[in-house]
Chains A and B, each alone.
Chain A
Amino acid sequence: MSSVGTVTPDVHHTSHEEDTGLWSWITTVDHKRIAIMYFVTATVFFFVGGFEALLIRIQLMNPEQNLISPELYNQLFTMHGTTMIFLVAMPMAVAFFNYVVPLQIGARDVAFPRLNALSYWIFLFGGIYLNASFFVGAAPNASWVGYATLTLPEFSPGRNVDFWFIGLSILGVASIVGGVNFITTIINMRAPGMKMMRMPLFTWMTLVTSFLLITAIPVIGVALVFLGFDRLFGTVFFNPAGGGDPVLWQHLFWIFGHPEVYILILPAFGVISDVIPAFSKKPLFGYPIVVYAGILIGFIGWGVWSHHMFTVGLGPIADSFFVAATMIIAIPTGVKIFNWIATMWGGSLQFTTAMLFCVGLVAVFTVGGLSGIMHASAPVNLQQHDSYFVVAHFHYVIVGGAMMGLWAGLYYWFPKVCGRYLDETLGKWHFWTTMIGFNLTFFPMHFSGLFGMPRRIFTYSADLNVDIYNQLSTVGAFIFGLSAIIMTWNLIRSWRSGEPAPANPWGAPHLEWSIPSPPHHYNFPGIPEVRSREPLWDPKERADIEAVTMAEPEREPIMPNPSWVPICLAAAITLAWALVMTGVWWIIILGMLPVLFFTFLWAFEPAFPEGH
């Protein structure tokens, strides 16, 4: 396959005597299995959110249609946004953090394996809880941003918003726990010689994202608790009748919401910063600059939230500040794009599916970035805000950026995960249906927006004359839907009977490719020492590393015990939050007792086998 990484195929490793039954998955604390569970769950939610999107597109295909009632439509678009962000894009990235980061830094697991399992189970239960609202006819219906005062009981008397604020609170716990885990792992568990400035970009961006998670999620946590008190206990944080301020909600939401955008996009930037060099046979151009640019984006990302609020009436001074801050963030983003192109420049480009998705990202994410510059200009924003132009913009950023990056990562790391390639022919079908479907869906939205079509509307007047753009979007959405089916078919088929892949199928430079595919459950028989940024591209260093990583260990390394406590604690946390909906203080307090109980069990449970 490649000239650099020719290692004997090692597909069916014999020491892989792990239990594979259902119970072993429920109790697993292995980061690789947790990653797979994250990925599969996020993919299922991707289909749920995609199905919602198709219903939305059917309703909007023609003006003044009444196929879907306004109430159901409002539930669909609210849940589409909430699902795609909190149940698809974020956990999909976390799946990659989980699988790849310990392998890239030469660690046997994450720092807190049981916490890692807890994260996953909370995410799963939170996602199920949110979607269960459909079955009681009370799915959240106040949009994914949930602006007060619409969310206050006076205007949203049903349970819909309760499901939303409780669901997001549950999911937030999973994110914070995950963030703590990855920061600790990356700071403390690197192999000898793996200095910070030798870490692969994906690990770097995981680190930055994790800091954003643990700092941004608590802000929305606070906002959600305020909202919960307003809804259930009669406080007036956001109620103007009592002296509260609905604009406060918007500040809190977007102080979380804008770093959230970088939580979504930075992992994808990390992925393609690793994938592009691998398929260009060149190291990443301007490595330190790309790292600093990522950190800078994460940092400035904290100072731009009010560009979501230019129509709120904050006054010209605040508007000007947020215009400038927002424009500044375009600079490090542009620097990244130029560095990726420079990495490819003069290289030897191999257009595997993974590389195609990287190229696709650079091409279409740029469109989303540039439309972002348009509405970063506050006066222009006053026309584009809450119109389909913005819908086009953030889908170009999140699908064209975050999701494309993750799909690149999927094709890149899949051989590592199961020792088989994803089928390249199906992969190319996946890529091209994605590109055509995605652009056909979202590009016309720029025009429907410029011609005055607002977002979050279940129908629009025929007088707006935007039928043709909506029809194109609907056709595109179905092609895009088809691409998801092709991807899934490829995953299932290749998982079962794909072409076997060697340890380093792409001739890539990082540590994860120095171990067999799939890896041992303990990852590294011995921990290698790293001497450079691309350890496997230096023949001598590679030989030294593989002498350690491909060896049979005399004794299997001691790995943490499986545990059923994480799933129980996650269920207890979900239950405790769900009981908040009753609004009865003693039920809520009783509901917390199982959390306490399982936390104690957790504390007293031995993490490692006896004697270690």
Chain B
Amino acid sequence: MAHWRDTMEQLVRDRERALLSYAYLVCGDAVQAQDLVQDALVRTFSRERKGLTAAKAEGYVRRAITSAFVDGYRRRQRWQRVQHLFTPADVAPDRFGQVEAGSDIHEALATLPPRPRACVVLRYFDDLTIGQIARHLGIAEGTVKRYVSDGLDQLQLALGPLDDADAAAATADHADVTERKLS
């Protein structure tokens, strides 16, 4: 068996649920999550990457999931299409400022626009720094900060106060600065 395929199948065998769960967190739809994971696998393994193990590949695939999600959003030419694809119909009526406190995290995430949502997931699920998110999504760090900040505010409307929100939003910058200083 070709090495890449062996690696891919091992990854899917061992981490299928984790990847699908992650993709679901990113997009909020099981069917789309499935497509995102498959697209991400295609993106990851379409390039020759020597020495790629299943463990390393998982990192690539996770990044590709968010890339695919945001890219898909970017490339739609009509917002209605974007709305249909990225905001499940049953949660589409939710609006900023209109989610009731105590909502499920999935519902709260569903109220976020795609790019802020991707930024929040990358920041708080993947523990990426602002700079890493900016480089990954190809947007300015300031934009990422804004998305994260707005996303957190919106999530707090739905979920109530978040212990890590204030500090993390602020220290995101600290972390970046620290990262740069250390490097």
Chain B binds chain A? no
Name B's A-contacting residues (CB within 8 A).
none
